[in-house]
Structure 1
Amino acid sequence: MEMSVIIESVTSLFIIILVGVYGSKRNIITPEVNKALIAILIQIALPFMILSSFTFTYSDTVKSNVINTFYYSIIGYILIIAVSHLMLLPIKNDKKTILHFANVFTNTGYVGFPILNSIYGPEGIIYGSIFNMFFVILLWTYGLMLFRGDSEKNDFRNELKKILTNPSIIAVCIGIIIMVSNIKPPRAILSSINSIGSITGPLSMIIIGVILSNTKIQKYLKDWTLYYGVITKLIIIPGILYFLSLLVGTSKAINTVIIMSAMPAAAMTAILAENFDTEKEYAAVIVSVTTLLSLITVTLLLRIIL
């Protein structure tokens, strides 16, 4: 069951990536158009997707697991960041930034949620949404700082202003209010939010396809950091989280964090690399390779932890 879901999700991703490649090769999506697509993705589609992820409800029977997932997600991200920093010490310059970002931020939405749904049903989506909440918060704070570098970290006030006024952070704040207050938006508004947010996944894959269409993949096949980064991302980090989980005992909450950490690199790895002009081709290759190889690694992981 899980294997078929993984294959279906990954195959879908690559088909959409090929659409982006086709659009670029046919000059339908020019560099200028691609920049506009990135702006639409970051400024409009993604904030709406974030809002939609907060509009869930849960019964009292899963309330304790929701609370546990909250704490385990925080611990999980701390461990992922720490392990990633240690593992990437041999790598320097911008490639280290790309690999670290890819390790921390995984494809929770387009691959992670379908897998959780196949394992735990709608309950799994709720736990995944808790993990995804921290993904969003960290993405638009810690993630942006990784790409902006030290030059902008020095201006704390300016940095803080950019973070707080980011559309995605505003969406997170509104989403938390909706979740905590148990507000139920009118059906028409909820439908609109979900519809706009649903274009985030396909749009991000099309953008990656455009980037890949102009990438000479062959030159990266001789780059040892590619293989080292993929092994760290898909095997070492999830493996460490799994073995640590044995010390406290397995549960749906813990398994959710482990499964989400094992997902391939998030599409935002390539999107932000393109946006900040930082090893954008390398980032697109990392996203594509981890997505393809996750067919094997995620399947093996599920066989072990379930």
Structure 2
Amino acid sequence: MSLSETLSNVINMEIISAITSTLFIILLGYFLRKREVFSSDVGKTLSKVVLTVAIPALAFNSFMQDLNDEVLNQGINILILGILVHVFLIFLSKFFFFRYAPNKEDTLRVLSIFGSTTFFGIPVVGAVFGAEGILYASIFNIGYRIFLYSYAYLKMSGLKMARKNIREMILNPIVLATFIGLFIWLFQDSLPQIAQSSSESVAFLRIDQTLPWLFKPLTFLSSLASPLAWLAIGITLGDLPFGKTLSSQTSWYYSFIKVVVFPLVILLSLLLLNAMNILPVNSVGLSTMIIMMATPAATVAVAYAINFEKEAVLASNASLLSTLFSIVLIPIWIIVLNLIGN
């Protein structure tokens, strides 16, 4: 089979539509901000809606599905891999940024380890892989959030772990929704059951089956995550100075490492583990993790840099340029991953 035939079989209309939807809606947000139809506050407001309402609903709904051995095993492997990947990157990042001054090195390492998996990654994964991808992304993010609110905070602040930071991590709506959904999904067979028919019953907390009137509004809210997130990204890009960012060689180097090198290293490592049958994951799980790794700098990590006055300008420039890299390269990653999966 020729390369063109392989590409036509793998790159179906659903994948093309997901890629074009991402690009078009981001460009729409950028255009509307440049035309001053939207103010900069609109992007911030949309971000709050996405992070406080839409993505928690999306994360929770992803767990409203039957439990089977294959998906359970995949979920456990992805949870372990999510933790191991971040431990691995903590050590690997030292190799790529050791030549910089201490403060700059710390900032670049944290920004390279932690991507915008929630705000940028999950909407893309959901658009391409649907509920299964969102489920795996939510599980992968458990390890991500453990290190984001511990290692990254300590590295950027130079302080010991603060009680306030732990409370913020635990009470974050996305974290709460993820753990509640994960609990229901894992223990649904042990929870009190409600008969659905003469031969079938489901856990009473499976609201997609037992309380459809409650599940439906959550579905509407979850459907807002992708378009609102992409609009907010476009609006944010329309507000930032491209000239200074494009002249920053460090930001270019960082963005290449973040969006190309690290995902490639993780991809090769996961393929090796799969070949050795160590924590194997299916094509959707593999693709989900790589897309999450190819996201731009995490907004929380950039906020740390600004709040603790640790290379704030560099962090902002790196965030902008890595976002542009991700917009261009994630579609390429999706194509590559689908070729590998097939």
Q: TM-score range by the shorter chain?
A: 0.7 to 0.9
Matched, 1:176 2:182: yes
1:138-287 superposed matches below 5 A: 138=143, 140-144=145-149, 146=152, 150-151=156-157, 153-154=159-160, 156-182=162-188, 183-185=205-207, 186-244=211-269, 245-249=271-275, 253=281, 255-263=283-291, 265-266=294-295, 269-270=298-299, 273=302, 278=312, 279-280=315-316, 282-287=318-323
Q: Which amino acid aligns with 1:27?
A: E
- Call closer, same or farther: CA 1:194–1:266 in 2, change over 3 Å: farther
Given that 2:59 and 2:178 are in contact with CA atoms closer than 8 Å, whether structure 1 keeps it comes out as yes
Equivalent-residue separation in structure 2 for 1:184 and 1:64 (angstroms): 21
Whole-Å Cα distance in 2 between the matches of residues 212 and 148 of structure 1? 29
With the length of structure 2 as denominator, give the TM-score of the two structures.
0.71
* More helix as a share of residues: 1
> Highest Rg: 1 or 2?
2
- Displacement of 1:249 after TM fit? 1.4
- What stretches of structure 2 of length at least 5 have no aligned partner? 1-8, 189-204, 307-311
Deviation at 1:86, TM superposition (A): 3.5
Letter in 1 for 2:288: M
Partner Cα separation in structure 1 for residue 164 and residue 325 of structure 2? 36
Higher relative contact order (CA 8 A, sep 6+): 1
Pairwise CA distance, 1:298: 3.9
Q: Answer yes or no: is 1:31 the counterpart of 2:53.
A: no
2:61 is the counterpart of 1:52: yes
Aligned position for 1:3? 11
Q: What SS class does the counterpart of residue 27 from structure 1 fall into?
A: coil
Q: What SS is found at the alignment partner of 2:64?
A: coil
Indicate the residue corresponding to 2:123 in structure 1: 110
Q: Which amino acid aligns with 1:292?
A: V
In structure 2, relative to structure 1, the CA distance for the partners of 1:276 and 1:51 (3 Å cut) is farther
Rate the CA distance shift 1:200–1:248 in 2: closer, same or farther, 3 A.
closer
Counterpart for residue 200 of structure 2: none
Q: Report the Cα distance in structure 1 between the residues aligned to 2:330 and 2:239, rounded to whole angstroms.
A: 24
How many residue pairs align between the two structures? 298
1:98 corresponds to 2:111: yes
Unmatched tracts of structure 1, length 5 or more? 118-124
- State the identity as a percent: 19
Q: Which residue of 1 aligns with 2:201?
A: none
Give runs of aligned pairs for residues 7-26 of structure 1, distance below 5 A.
7-26=16-35
Task: Tell me whether 1:288 sits opposite 2:324 in the alignment.
Answer: yes
Relative to structure 2, which stretch is displaced further, 247-256 or 22-31?
247-256
Report the CA distance between 1:274 and its aligned residue: 6.8
- Change beyond 3 A, Cα 1:292–1:150: closer
Deviation at 1:196, TM superposition (A): 0.8
The Cα RMSD (Å) is 3.5
